[in-house]
Amino acid sequence: MARPWSPLVSYETDDGSRCIDVFVRADGTFGFEVFRRDVEDGGTWYITGHYNGRRFASRADAEAAAKAAAPWQRSS
């Protein structure tokens, strides 16, 4: 299923089991979502955070909130 946003950046754990996407919506607001995947599921990403409904005025605000929600996130 297509998501109603365009990812700007994705941060993934070293083991590839978790990911966070920071994105922009068509209306110009920003957001983020947290995902996980399990080897036994064939590597499919699943939403786990349910943060995608939160709206931020800037990418920086969305990234700050994502970092707080997922402290494992790398900020490279």
Mean pLDDT of 18-41: 92
Which residue type, as a one-letter code, is found at position 17? S
For residue 4, count other CB atoms closer than 10 A to its CB: 9
Asked if the model's pLDDT at residue 73 lies above 80, the reply is no
Torsions phi, psi for 42 (to 5 deg): 75, 15
Asked if the model's pLDDT at residue 5 lies above 50, the reply is yes
Dist CA 18 CA 47 (whole Å): 10
